[in-house]
Amino acid sequence: MSNQPYRTALVTGASSGIGAEIVRRLSREGIEVHALARDAARLEQLSQETGCVVHAVSVSDQAGIEALVSGLEIDILVNNAGQSRTGNITNTTPEDIDALVDVNLRAVLQLTRLVVAGMIKRDRGHIVNITSIAGHYAFAGGNTVYHATKAGVHSLSQQLRCDLFGHHIRVTEVSPARCETEVFGRLIGNMEEAKKRFFDEYESLLPEDIANSVAFAVMAPQRMNVSFMEVLPTMQVVGGLNFAKKTSGAA
């Protein structure tokens, strides 16, 4: 273990995928990890494997989150929990908008607000926000609300560094591209079909790649803040330019 001063971490969305791998990775560094998610059964399995402390709470449960945080001294907060939907702003529903804003943005703001006060008091801490390349690039087929919420967390990460200037509190944003997790299966309702469509013929990131990226930032010397990491598969690029043809009736 290094000389880093962190003793405890809170990881949201910890029951599977990237979140579970972050719990495993930080636990191997000797950090006491508090794993937060809704799936109590999966959390219990993760606890038996890693020794993490589990909290079967939704990040949208404001009262539950406040009660949890009030009894902890959190040195590392990993805002990882997130949701997505299919479609775009032309065919989304009010319920989908509310759900994505609640989990992807509002919960991150509220949890950060609750945790950062203790970090300031102790003058140590590290906030890690897991966003997405969807927060930085527009691309056809992406869910508009998802893009907007991830862009909001990107802006939060930037502003936090201003708010925390003068304190020994670091802020890192890790922005992954396509990563092989269950999220695609949940989107289309079929895990096997999602595997064939999105992963079998492509080289994608794995959850442990993102966990290792988080560990690199967290375990870096205290003089060093890894502020932003964009993590892509080697065989994926972002961006692109398309033109639509004029219609025959255009003026």
Q: How far apart are CA 48 and CA 20, in angstroms?
A: 13
Q: How far apart are CA 222 and CA 232, in angstroms?
A: 26
Amino acid at residue number 166:
G
Which of 6, 137, 146, 202 does the annotation list as catalytic? 146
Structure tokens at 56: 């079967």
Q: Is the dihedral of CA 18, 9, 11, 121 positive or negative?
A: negative
Q: How far apart are CA 188 and CA 224, in angstroms?
A: 41
> Is there a contact between 14 and 23 (Cβ–Cβ < 8 Å)?
yes
| Ramachandran assignment for 121, one of left (phi > 0), alpha (psi -120 to 50 degrees), beta (any other) | alpha
| 6 counts as catalytic | no
Structure tokens at 43: 């959390």
Structural element, H or E, at residue 8: strand 8-12
3-class SS at 92? Answer: coil
Active site residues: 146
